[in-house]
Each structure stands twice: as structure tokens, then as C-alpha cells.
Chain A
């Protein structure tokens, strides 16, 4: 039997980004002993890279805003494939979640009358994003990190122990979830520092591990985004939905090569920046799709007036939802109208004063100055699409965040449904607050409802330990190591990123995705022979070898779902099926994993979506719904012409 360090908690939260911290705060406030497990140091989560802001219909800048307007924008952004209940809860609760952060000490930028300022963003009808310059994510992480410290100080005052009820396990990676029968019983992992194993026994586990971007070559995501939560949930018997929808942010840096993919916030366009091609033309006016016709400005004059007078003008098409803008940039570059380094131009220098730019976009100024020698107050930036976010994720109950596995909850980017086929900018920071809190509450309620604690079987611990140590033995089939066929994890990772980028990227075809699947099969076989050098103490090669298993599994989900969905919608564009098809609108693709003799195989099936509640459906005009729905789905709508 494997010797292992053991900890027992009521709720274990895996992931210390925004969703994980909010879930942990909630579980602790509901009186549950809670552990936060973080792959990195506390406070380094990917959330710190979120720049533009947190969407919440507070109506501070434009009082016409309301949860209903936010709900409508979110559904349109996701092309009506969203889980409507999640979109409803999100729009209703986001303002309270933002205001709550102020009681933790957050300092957002202010309006003239001292309230939280809100900025314009793609797809949002009104200025809606609470922000702090262009470092909003950092403010949110720091605020919740400090709230956790505050709760620990309360516990210290009461018990003499800061970590009596809430403890952070930093630089600790979970490799397996363990079950007792059909329900979650714990999580198994290793300390990055020492390589030693650790077991968390808990009746409720919240996954908040973020996204999957590290499977793509050009990405704005950090190394942590290896799809761990997605993979852990699947291996525990959970399901993923919407995995074919991957968001390519339209504006990533394109030069120099080493920074390619680093994010350039949408706030640049929200604050007046415009996209230009090599002919100095504002090309976005050519790319307003049929479904959004009439909702966006048709002339540059109107677009420019809109920044000052939103009542009487329509918004600039530079602020269309991200999928539309990313595709437009892709098309311009392909047509030979790109910038010297294969992007397009993003110009704010000629539209705002240098002083305003430095105040509104300090990190962008800093980033371009230090990494690319570009002064964005004097010259345009070069930008192009970068893999940014996965809309797909763990299938959960909207209200509690519980997955299809008892005791397993998920929130934030690793959960699926909320954003449908495309997420609006700003809806991620609000998503993680709303559903982080809900998942924390769901996990606390579940843990409190159990008559007895689940038990982890020692066989399962042994199995998890063996799996984690495989890369040292030269692979499971024993062919790695001495005989020279051992594989290097860095090499396989590089090939995976290239394949996903080229074959399952922003524009896809059935033929290319099939090729990607063949490559993935080959990479899976080679990954089984990965061998790492050195020992277990802080060994990045070993860590990558384990993360690679998750990336391969999740990449296969993306590719298989992308092959099955024969239409184009949001973050899934099929060149061989370019139209959005109403009969695909309410069909979700659900991924699960089957263990075979050869290892793991992903299965995808179709599942109809619950029809939207009538009162929510009636928030939309019949004319608009017609563009997305089949006729049969709208028979009850009051606006239906007989």
C-alpha cells in the first residue's frame, strides 16, 4: 500500500483562480472546513491575466441597463446555444457579486458620482464592465486572496490557528479523483516541490481549474491551462459539453515571435481603438453578419458618434462579438491585406491622447513598450487571433454547479453551458463570481447532507500512485527508457500544439479535423512511452508528462465534437459547413471517456437542450428568434405571426 500524506476536509476546491477562491470563500462561510489546492503559488492564477473587466448590469454609466438586457446580449453572443438558466442566473446575480467585492476591499475605477465605473465591450449593449484600468483580473484575485486571509484571521482570533477552517495548498497538483461507489470521495495528487504524494479525503470536490489553451500553439493562456479539471471530471465519470467551441480572441500580439499570442485587451476597442487593414481601411463595417444587421453602425461617423451618444447611434462593428472579429481578421490577412507580421492594425494612437491611453491602458502601454518596442500612444499595434478561452466544459446543474457525478462540482471556465458557442468579453470574470459562489454553496450543502463520509479505497490510491509514476519508468508498456524509443514530453507537447493550431483552429474542415484525430491517436501512443530524467523534486519534465495526458484527452474531445457539428456557430467555424443551421441550435454534443485496452477513448453523443422558459423567450422579438430557431420551436411565442 502506498504511503501517503492525508488530509480530511468537508470541501476541497481544486484551482485557486477566481472561481475557486469564490467557491472556497462561500464553502467556508457556510461553516465547512475547506481546502484550496493550487498548481501554482497562491495569487498567480490565470485570472490575473484578465484585463478588460467584469460584466454586471449595475447601470452606473447608463441607467437603461438591466439584467434582462445583459441576458439578451449573452444569449446573442453565444448564438442561442447557451444554457439559458445559467445565462439568467449570471445576469441577475453579477451586480451583487461585484458589489460584494467592494466589501472585501476591492478598488474599482469610479464614475464622477463615486460609483463603480463601467466600460464598453464587444457585444454588450451598454457600458457594463467594472474595471481597474486594464488589470481587472489582478484586482479580483488579489481581493479574494485578501478576503481569504481575512477569514483566516477570524479563525486565528477564535482558535489560534490561521488554517483551522480554510487552508491553501499551493504548488500542489491533483492527478486523480477517487470515488466511493458512484460518489466522490477524495482527490489524489503530488506536491510540486517535493514530488511526494498527497491525498485529500472529502465528500465534495469543486473543480475550478480553468481552460485548455496550452493545447494550442498560439494562445494567451498560461502553462496551467492544460484542461486538468475537464480531464479529471471525465475520468471520474462526468461529461463535457460544447467542447467544439473554442474562443480565439481577435487581438493577440503577433510580433516578436516569442510573445505571439499574448493578449491585447478588448478594452482598447472599448475605449475607442479601431481595427485597420494594410489599406488603412476600417474593415469591420464589411463583416456585420446577417443576425446582427441593424444593430451596428453602418458608417464611421455614426460609429464615432456612438462613443459619446449611445441613445441616438449604433455601436461600432469593431465591437462585434469576438468570434466575428477574429474571423474577420483572419479573412483580411488571407486576402493579403494584413500587417507586415501577419496581423492587422489596432489603432488607438490617433484616437485618444497619449495621456489618456497611458491612464486607461497602462499594462498595454507597458507590454508593447517592453516586449515589442512599440509605443502605442504614437503608432498602431499589430494584432491577430489567439486561442483564449474554451466555452466547453463540465456539464453541470445551473443552480448548484453539480456535475453528473455525485459530490463533484465545477465552476468557471472548466464548466460548460453558460456561454453557449461564444463568450462575450467581460462575462468570464462575472461568471466565475456568480458560479464560484453557487458551486461553493452547492458543495457545502451536499457535504452537509450526507449521513456518513465516503471512504477512499487503498487500491485506488495505489493505482493513482502508479499512474503518476509511469513517466519515470519509461512508460506503461515498458518500451521507453533504455532501448531508445523513450519520448520527450516537451517534443510531444510541441507537436500537439502545432496540430491543434493548424487543424482544429479558428477555421476548420472535416478533412483537417480527421487528420488531427489521426495525429492525436499517434501522439497518445507516443505519450505512453514518455520518459523523464531526474528525480521527483520540482521536476518540470515530469509535471508536463502528467499534464500531457490531460491535454491529449481534452484535445480529442475538441476534435471529435468539431467533426460531428456540421455547421458554423460562434467559436466553431467549419469551412465545409459555413452556415449556422437552426436544427443544430438546441443540440449539445456530450463527451465522455471510455477506458479500453488501448487506453482512453472519447465518445460523443448528441443531447437536446431544455427549451427556454417562456418568460425568458419573450424577452426577444420573434423576428430576431427566427434567425436562430426552427419554426417549430417558436409556436408558443406571442409575437408569432399566424
Chain B
């Protein structure tokens, strides 16, 4: 039943820090976040950790447990041996604020760069008609709880601060795919080319489909297979379509 576990938790801030060792009680059925909370309540009241729902629905408590990017609230203690040392680190791709809390503002900046849904002209509220089968593709991506574990894991971003300006990361490329697959998005009618934007503005070309993002997604969204690869195919289809190519040539020439 209850036992004493060995925990090693990173403590520090932007200026630096170190792993601190703790011995802490664990009860039946608990998750890593329960143990972090027990540390707060009994040993270090100021241990910083983000969390909200403790039910795997809000995506706040992302961290790295024994080197694996995970939600602390969905990582059960029963997945570790009782004598195993459990190391909890903040996400590595984002700057540390304090202890397990990182500065994830990069993600919000990228979110704002993706052109929003464009409602179709002439369709009144209440008149939207879509078939279930057509909304399901985008619905899968809208399951995203924005835990940013995919962003944290993606090797284009992890340890590559220099790529951040040009690369939106899997979460926001998936957002582009979601909008591109939205049955009623009218971006094209307004001259917004989502596929071109994915490639030119959001850095889709950086992605070489290693599927690390899919592996860590706590919502089991098939980010690579269902969002990124189809988006790449759509970009390719558009860029290398001979008619589109010819059309672009002619238009460019006549404009010159």
C-alpha cells in the first residue's frame, strides 16, 4: 500500500538550479502530481508547479518524468518500481521561470500568427450545415489540450532556440491543418492561402515527420499522420501541380 518513494525534483530559476532529493510517502492509486503536492504541503511550500484540473483535461502540468515528457496528473506511480528513483524536470524546450514552471509564451505568440477561421459569407448563424464525417478530421485536432508536450519534444525546437522564429511547431501546424480541413472555412475566398502560409510562414518544411510529437500526445492525436503529412501533401499538390505552376507563371508575366 503506502510506501516511501525517492524523488529528485529540479529546483531553481532562470539563473540556474539543481536537482533536490526527497523521500516522500506514496499511497495507492496516486499519480506523480499527488506526490508533488504532498511535497508542497509537507516539505517545501514554495515548490512551483503548474496544474489546474488534475484530470488530464487542461494540459497545465506538463513536465519530464524520468526523461519522458508527460502530464504529471496522468502519470501513475504504479508505473514505477517502489525503489525506483523518480526524477521530475521542467520541460526543456521552454525557459525556466521557477522549479517546474516554464515560460510557454512562445506558443501563444505562434497561436496568434495563424490566421483565424474565416466565416463563410452569406451563411447566417444557425444555417451552418456540415456532415459529421466532414467535421471529424478537424475535431480530432481540436481535442488538443495545449499541454505543449509536442512542442517540447519536437527535435526542431528542442535545443534549437534558433528555429523558434521560423517554426510554429507541431501544435500550430496542426492548427493550420485543422482550419484547412474545416468544411466551411472561407479563407481562400479572402485570398488567404493556408497551405502556402504553412510552408512559407509557419515552417512546415522543417518537419521531417519523425513522429516524436505523436508519441508524447496525451490525447493520442495522430499529429504526424493525420495533420502534418496531409498538410505536406496539400502543399506539394499545390506547388507542383503543372497547371498551378503554369497559371502562376502566366499571371506573374502578365503582371510584369
Contacts and interface: CB of A to CB of B under 8 A. Distances in A.
A138 B57 contact: yes
A340 to B, nearest CB: 14
Interface in A307-364: 362-363
B98 A258 contact: no
Contacts of B56: 366-367, 370-371
Contact of B130 (A110, A133, A494): A110
B131 A114 contact: yes
A464 B2 CA distance: 43
Interface stretch (A118-126, A197-205, A531-539): A531-539
Nearest to B31: A258
B22 to A, nearest CB: 15
From B111, B112, B115, B131, name the one whose CB has the most chain A CB atoms within 10 angstroms: B112
A42 B13 CA distance: 22
Contacts of A152: 112
A142 interface: yes
B58 A222 contact: yes
B45 A162 contact: no
Given A135-B143, A257-B28, A258-B29, A49 B57 contact: yes
Nearest to B111: A149
Contacts of A139: 142
Interface residues of B, number: 61
16 contacts: A41-B50, A41-B60, A42-B108, A43-B146, A46-B53, A58-B126, A96-B125, A107-B182, A153-B116, A222-B54, A257-B27, A257-B30, A259-B54, A363-B57, A371-B56, A490-B45
Interface string A364-397: 0011001110000000000000000000000000
A589 B143 CA distance: 41
A98 to B, nearest CB: 9
A135 B59 CA distance: 14
A491 B41 contact: yes
Interface in B90-136: 97-99, 101, 104, 108, 111-112, 114-117, 119, 125-126, 128-132, 135
Interface string A125-143: 0000000110100110010
Interface residues of A, number: 72
B46 A110 contact: no
Given A99-B126, A146-B117, A46 B52 contact: yes
A257 B76 CA distance: 13
A99 B125 contact: yes
Contacts of B53: 46, 48-49, 222
Given A44-B52, A107-B142, A489-B45, A540 B40 contact: yes
Given A103-B119, A153-B116, A542-B46, A537 B98 contact: yes
Nearest to A256: B29
A107 B54 CA distance: 26
Contacts of A188: none
B117 A105 contact: yes
A100 B126 CA distance: 8
Nearest to B179: A105
Nearest to B26: A258
Q: Which 3 A-B pairs have the closest CB atoms?
A: A256-B29, A534-B46, A105-B117
A203 B75 CA distance: 46
A640 interface: no
A146 B115 CA distance: 10
Interface string B4-44: 00000000010000000000000111110010000011101
B98 A538 contact: yes
B112 A114 contact: no
B49 interface: yes
A142 B58 contact: no
B99 A149 contact: no
B192 to A, nearest CB: 11
A631 interface: no
A262 B46 contact: no
Interface in A233-262: 255-259, 262
A138 B125 contact: no
B58 A149 contact: no
Contacts of B145: 48, 138
B51 A102 contact: no
Given A149-B116, A366-B56, A371-B76, A115 B45 contact: no
B48 A539 contact: yes
B115 A153 contact: yes
B97 A95 contact: no
B74 interface: yes
A494 B54 CA distance: 17
A329 to B, nearest CB: 20
Interface in B53-82: 53-60, 74, 76
A222 B56 CA distance: 11
A262 B31 CA distance: 14
Contacts of A256: 28-30
Contact of B48 (A100, A150, A488, A540): A540
A292 interface: no
Contact of A162 (B42, B74, B112, B142): B112
Nearest to A95: B126
A629 interface: no
B224 interface: no
B47 interface: yes
A224 interface: yes
Contacts of B52: 40, 44, 46, 222-224
B138 interface: yes
Contacts of A96: 125-126
A263 interface: yes
Given A44-B60, A538-B98, 13 more contacts: A49-B55, A107-B139, A132-B139, A223-B51, A257-B27, A363-B57, A367-B56, A371-B56, A372-B29, A488-B41, A494-B41, A533-B45, A539-B45
A257 B29 contact: yes
B171 to A, nearest CB: 12
B137 to A, nearest CB: 10
Interface string A88-112: 0000000110011011110111100
Interface string B158-186: 00000000000000000000010010010
A51 to B, nearest CB: 9
B62 to A, nearest CB: 11
A220 to B, nearest CB: 8
Interface string B139-151: 1001111100000
A321 B185 CA distance: 39
B31 A146 contact: no
Contacts of B31: 258-259, 371
Contacts of A263: 55
A482 interface: no
A540 B117 contact: no
B101 A538 contact: yes
Interface in A440-484: none
Residue among A494, A537, A540 with max Cβ neighbours from chain B (10 Å): A540
A103 to B, nearest CB: 5
Contacts of A224: 52
A113 interface: yes
A571 interface: no
